[in-house]
Amino acid sequence: MFDDVIEIPPFTIRVRSSFEAVSRHVGFFYRDCRRPGPDAFLDFDIEVRPGAGPRRWWRPQARFELDGAEPFFPLPANQAAPLLEWGLNFCVAHRPLGYLVMHAAVLARNGQALMLPGFPGAGKSTLCASLALCDGWRLLSDELAILDPADVQLIPHPRPISVKNRSIDIVADFPGAGKEPGRIVVEGPDGRPVPAQVLGGGAGGSRVAFVAAAPSVGFAVYTIRHDPSKPDPNETALRVTDDGRRLESDRYIVKIDDRGDVASIYDRSLDKELLSAPARIGLFYENPSQWPAWNGSGSGSS
């Protein structure tokens, strides 16, 4: 059973769950949050637990409980981690504890805050995610703006930003946003890396293709994160001499002779020359009488 007490300003929250996905979610997205310990005063006591009875095994469900009460209907078990985030939104919005809570994204720049209110689907999370990746901008909150009436100051409430569908491309192409393209890792719902490839990118971010599996009803959560420890795909171990006659990689040494033929391909791992003679490129010209694409008009052909 996962059991942790974390501070997500301005609240102290206890999260319990037997779902491994919830444990990984909290450990990844809230790893830098302060842990005040089990004796701390709690604002919200949350548990994401499996469904009751047969629903633990047959079409398994996840249930959200706040202080022992269940405010929602259960959801499919593969949505346990998103259910935690949706439940946190419910907690803050319905029990603000003296704060003024508004449905808006909030960013800060040069000591001033920018609020982005809007109806669901208006694009506030998309713009918030784009600006948060730009230099000079700080994320205060994606979903809920929290204002302290005592000093009329906005309080940071940083949590994961949810973007989907076309919003992902918009964020990736936003001028000035993004990380170094290519240095990414994609993890599946079980926390294990899945095969992934960077399709392109630049200053605005990266487009990534990866192997995913999702149920016919519901969805699966994959995590794409920047990993500076991974090698830069734009960097190569290929070395070429100034005259262009010798190319070396970690595996091969290729030599080009004066005629422009490949004179040698040496395999380092096998300690073996792969060519018995230079590999020459021959150009042949033919003017076929009938079918240019495939006609062979030599003697004996048909």
Q: How confident is the model over 29-45, as pLDDT tens digits?
A: 999 999 999 899 999 99
Q: What is the pTM of this model?
A: 0.61
Same domain flag for 46 and 81: yes
Beta bridge partners of 115: 106
Q: Mean pLDDT in runs of 10 for the chain (302 residues)?
A: 94 95 93 92 95 86 93 91 93 92 92 87 86 85 92 92 82 64 78 79 66 83 78 64 83 86 89 87 63 53 44
Query: Which residue is associated with the tokens 């997205």?
Result: 29
* pLDDT for 81: 92
Same domain, 183 and 172: no
The predicted-structure confidence for 19-77, as pLDDT tens digits, reads as follows 999 999 999 999 999 999 989 999 999 999 998 888 888 889 999 999 999 998 999 99
- Co-location of 272 and 283 in the same domain: yes
pLDDT at 30: 93
The last residue of a domain, from among 165, 192, 226 = 226
* 205 and 169 together in one domain: no
Q: Is residue 166 part of a domain?
A: yes
pLDDT score for 169 = 78
Are 9 and 75 within one domain? yes
251/297 same-domain check: yes
Res 301: pLDDT:
46
pLDDT number for residue 173: 73
Element (H, E) at 242: none
241 lies in some domain: yes
DSSP one-letter string for 109-174: ETTEEEEEE--TTSSHHHHHHHHHTSTT-EEEESSEEEEETTTTEEE---------THHHHHHHHS
Cα–Cα distance measured from residue 80 to residue 127, given in angstroms and rounded to the nearest whole number: 27
Q: Provide the number of structural domains found in the chain.
A: 4
What pLDDT sits at residue 17?
Answer: 96
Residue 171 domain boundaries = 99-176
* Residue 231 belongs to a domain: no
- Confidence (pLDDT) at 33: 92
Task: Look at residues 108, 74, 87, 90 and name the one whose alpha carbon lies nearest to residue 25.
Answer: 87
If asked whether residues 185 and 245 sit together in one domain, one would say: no
Separation of CA 141 from chain center = 19
| Last residue within a domain, chosen from 161, 195, 226 | 226
Strand, helix or coil for residue 261? coil
- Token output for 262: 């490949």
| DSSP symbol at 78 | G
Judgement on whether residues 211 and 241 belong to the same structural domain of the protein: no
**Domain annotation covers residue 129:** yes
